[in-house]
Structure 1
Amino acid sequence: MAPITVLHPQVLPMEKVLRDPIHNYIYIQHQVILDLINTKEFQRLRRIKQLGTTSYTFHGAEHSRFSHSVGVYEITRKICDLFQRNYPTQNSNDGLWDDHERLVALCAALLHDVGHGAYSHTFEHIFHTNHEQMTQQIITSPETEVNHVLRQVSDDFPAQVASVIAKTYPNQQVVQMISSQIDADRMDYLLRDSYFTGTKYGNFDLTRILRVMRPYQGGIAFNFSGMHAVEDYIVSRFQMYQQVYFHPVSRSMEVILSSLLKRAKDLYEMDQLPHDFAYETLKPFFDNQFSLKQYLKLDDGVLNTCFSIWSECDDHILKDLARRFLNRKPLKSAKVNDDTRSLLPTLRNLIAEAGFDPYYYAATNDSFDLPYDSYNPSSKKPQTQIELMQTDGSLIELSTVSTLVKAISGKITGDERFFFPREMLAKGNQLEIFTPVYQQFEKYLHNDRLIFPK
């Protein structure tokens, strides 16, 4: 690997900028940040969509993990500037901002998503990878250009940056900039995803929120005077999940993608997957024995090439699923709940009678989100609650003073859906066996206890 030169001092003699539709300019002021952006591991993020299959619903959502990552860096840079300007530390015990933490915060912000795989969460589910663990591995592995750049700061600097991702870094102010209920990551993806999906749900007053953020001994709080800006952010996040992230068509395409990868994996295990580019590319993942180098070779485009090859293969299920995914042929869906779940075996049987293998063509998918919750250390994944700082310096948790946030605090939103082939609703199908099956299937869907599909 060719060495990457890091100039000293770490601050560039003249800052560089990236034009950005969300932040206007992204300011690069440190050589290490510029060098990290130019590593092959970070450039790979250009080839991974930020929103995965959502572009099948909102056609403008073609933005990448790269653009999001530099956006998170820029918000973090602004936070550091505001903290240093307004809350600089005077002694080691005052709980204010120590600007020596700036570089580790900026690097962690920039690299927080570098470990995402092709099609992100669906790929993780099938092949049991974890993007946060992969991010830490990329940062700490001597095989990567990212690690080489970070080690130019100091030998232990990669471990420091990785500990921010792992949330074990000693200074919680740095951790909460990147990972909390209101952090640079979430603030950028709400604004960016809203912009590129052509929606307005994710808009909130970023400038105001940054102005009211402040460090304290336990992390980051918000001045009480900024409560309404924080409320606006919480509501925006709530709406984006309901209207964009949980959209039934996007989830349908995720189900097809999941079934497509499952079918390929099943064929591989039966030694029936053709020995071609797709086979050689995914073999390490089918065997669950992949190296970091093999993982980093994957991106959305590589997987799409695999799908294109499979769209012409002999296996009719793999071929059909590949064509459905590539050509945007989503499944239909109906909401289910505890009262209607008992109908699903019957619906699966009808799908099988119609000629579709329900293992690949029928699925339940649930998407749930907790818009906001006060800290609960006994929960499976305890979240950092949002603290408001009053004029006397005391802290008060957001939902105790905001009736708006209290109304949605602790309330899980979302739904569970049953996905099935669109053909099950194709009236006029000429197959003799299909007409009675279709009529029976539709009768169940029109049952008063089921919500008719969208």
Structure 2
Amino acid sequence: MEYAKQKLDEEKVFKDPVHRYIHVRDRVIWDLIGTREFQRLRRIKQLGTTYLTFHGAEHSRFNHSLGVYEVIRRIVDDVFVGRPEWKQEFRLLSLCAALLHDIGHGPFSHSFEKVFSLDHEQFTQRMILENTEVNSVLRRVDEQFPKRVAEIIEKTSENKLVVSLISSQIDADRMDYLQRDAYFTGVSYGHFDMERILRVMRPREDQVVIKQSGMHAVEDYIMSRYQMYWQVYFHPVTRSAEVVLTKILHRAKWLYQNDYAFEQRPTHFFSLFQEDIKLEDYIQLDEAIILYYFQMWQNEKDDILRDLSNRFMNRNLFKYVEYDPAKEYKKAMELEKLFYQIGIDPEYYLIVDSSSDLPYDFYRPGEEEERLPIHLLTPSGELQELSRKSHIVSGISGKRRTDHKLYFPQDLLKDDSSHKKIKKQIREILDLS
């Protein structure tokens, strides 16, 4: 039988805390799950440093990727099947893109990317298109299939309907991670009626639309996302851990480039430090590797690398105060000078960190990131943009919220015998009691 149509002799299931069961009948999907590139996702946390804030947040990109696959499977096998706008030939393409959409994420994801100027989406493309086990499986469907899957994930495919299933303002990716992250962090914000949303989803030529009768379930979903970003994803303690993590990597890179003799040579980082990372080097990186080096760097001769590594491994993180860069930049400059005077390098110990989110947006042609709005399908068959019908969504539509905090090591500013006067001045500027 043609490989693309092969089914397993018996359905495989993964027991899942969010979707109860994840069902696999397709041979292609089962083979993709077994590849080394996909199994690597077991060793990449879904929420990076959030486990230092919410101790239950130990779940992985592997969990999430299976979850997104399951949401898509339910849509294409239960909701869309038999509808004239849906072509059955899109089914396997949708399932593979859902399963592989996050395969290029690195350890501690976005913090890691910022330091080394990486883009996980580029590595997703490379893992699908280059000489990998994933590519080998996809090519068994047909030689062009890896390219078609990659284009869906990259959002360059002409198949806008499948793209919107994987990546839009209401997609399978968000519907899984909001519920999964809420479950593992123990918060109540991320829960919404996914069953209702799935029932009212309808395929159209270029996007998924929602029956107007499901508008309130969509409102709930959007507010859940809003709350999760500000209560979980942008939690100030998580951000503090990210700041410390980022500064460890910056320090290690700077030391390498200045010929520092490491007690524990960072072999796995060499191609990153040299800004010439090969795909195989990237695939071999996971969070266990990173944490091994952080553990060992607690014994380094370099004071900054040793201290920051110790802080991260033992959760002695930076404290923070609210900060307005437009009004308080002079305060930051003054603090920088005072930090230097007491022998603390502000490059590593005085950090402004910003978070920003746009919970929902209507279509803005020509914007750098064009967001396809959510459309409601009225009983008459017309499409109306969500914020025109929903007062709740209209109230937050297009409104970006940004938050800034100033992070610093409060324990180093205690009133001890050294630099007593300057430390007191710093604490007064920071308004520390």
In the aligned structure 2, how far is the partner of 1:59 from the partner of 1:414? 26
Kept in 2: contact 1:49–1:64 (CA 8 A): yes
Answer whether contact 2:3 2:141 (CA < 8 A) is retained.
no
Q: State the distance in 2 between where 1:351 and 1:207 align.
A: 54
- Secondary structure of 2:9's counterpart equals strand
Q: CA deviation at 1:8?
A: 6.9
Deviation larger for 64-73 or 333-342: 333-342
Q: 2:270 matched to 1:283?
A: yes
Q: Report the counterpart of residue 18 of structure 2 in structure 1.
A: 22
How does 1:38-437 map onto structure 2 within 5 Å?
38-85=34-81, 88-89=83-84, 96-141=85-130, 143-274=131-262, 276-278=264-266, 280-337=267-324, 338-426=326-414, 429-433=415-419, 435-437=420-422
Partner in structure 2 of residue 3 of structure 1: none
Greater CA drift, 164-173 or 437-446:
437-446
1:339 aligned counterpart, secondary structure: helix
Residue 425 of structure 1 and its aligned partner are, at CA, apart by 4.9
The answer on whether the counterparts of 1:371 and 1:408 sit within 8 Å (CA) in structure 2 is yes
In structure 2, distance between residues paired with 1:277 and 1:294: 16
* TM-score w.r.t. length of structure 1: 0.92
Q: Is the 8 Å Cα contact of residues 84 and 99 (structure 1) preserved in structure 2?
A: no
What is the CA-CA distance between 1:277 and the residue it aligns to? 4.4
Q: Quick one: distance in 1 between partners of 2:430 and 2:274?
A: 40
> 2:74 aligns to what SS in structure 1?
helix
Partners of 2:3 and 2:140 within 8 A in 1: no
Distance 1:82 1:127, change over 3 A: same
For 1:310 and 1:442, locate their aligned partners in 2 and report how far apart those are by CA, in whole Å: 30
Task: Supply the distance in 2 between the matched residues of 1:339 and 1:320 (Cα, whole angstroms).
Answer: 32
Partner of 1:449: none
Superimposed CA distance per residue, residues 353-378 of structure 1 (whole angstroms, 9 cap, x where no aligned partner)? 23211011111110100000101122
Moved more, 222-231 or 355-364: 355-364
Q: Which amino acid aligns with 2:117?
A: H
Distance in 2 (alpha carbons) for counterparts of 1:314 and 1:54: 29
Deviations along 1:408-454, whole A, 9 cap, x unmatched?
A: 1111124011111122553xx32331x222221222223xxxxx79x
Native 8 Å contact 2:264 2:293 kept in 1:
no
Note the alpha carbon deviations across 1:25-52, whole angstroms, 9 max, x for none: 0000100100000000000000000000
TM-score (norm 2): 0.97
> Equivalent residue of 2:327, what SS?
coil
Q: Distance in 2 between matches of 1:352 and 1:414?
A: 29
Matched residue, 2:29: 33
Distance 1:63 1:259 in 2: 24
How much does 1:219 deviate? 0.9
- 5+ residue gaps, structure 2, are none
Alpha-carbon distance, 1:275 to partner: 6.7
- What per-residue deviation string (whole Å, max 9, x for no partner) do you get for residues 140-162 of structure 1? 00x20000011111111000000
Q: Which runs of 5+ in 1 are unaligned?
A: 1-5, 90-95, 447-451
Give the superposition deviation at 1:14: 2.3
Shift of 1:88: 2.0
Secondary structure of 1:136's aligned partner: helix
Q: Which residue of 2 aligns with 1:93?
A: none
Mapped partners of 2:332, 2:399: distance in 1:
26
2: CA distance, partners of 1:277 / 1:147: 33
**1:388 aligned counterpart, secondary structure:** strand
What letter corresponds to residue 83 of structure 2 in structure 1?
A: P
1:92 equivalent in structure 2: none
Secondary structure of 1:67 counterpart: helix
**Amino acid in structure 1 at the alignment position of 2:149:** V
Distance 1:249 1:274 in 2: 30
For 1:425 and 1:321, locate their aligned partners in 2 and report how far apart those are by CA, in whole Å. Answer: 16
**In 2: Cα distance, 1:308 partner to 1:375 partner:** 47
RMSD after superposition = 1.6
What amino acid does structure 2 have at the position aligned with 1:221? V
**Structure 1 contact 187–206 (Cα < 8 Å) conserved:** yes
- Which of 415, 421, 425 is residue 440 of structure 1 equivalent to? 425
SS in 1 for 2:110: helix
CA distance in 2, matches of 1:124, 1:243: 23
**Pair 1:42–1:272, CA change in 2 (3 A):** same
C-alpha distance after superposition, 1:212-247 (max 9, x if no partner): 110112211000000000000000000001100111
Cα separation, 2, equivalents of 1:81 and 1:431: 70
What are the superposed Cα offsets for residues 275-310 of structure 1, whole Å, 9 maximum, x if unpaired?
7442x1101000011110001000011001111121
3-state DSSP of counterpart to 1:288: coil
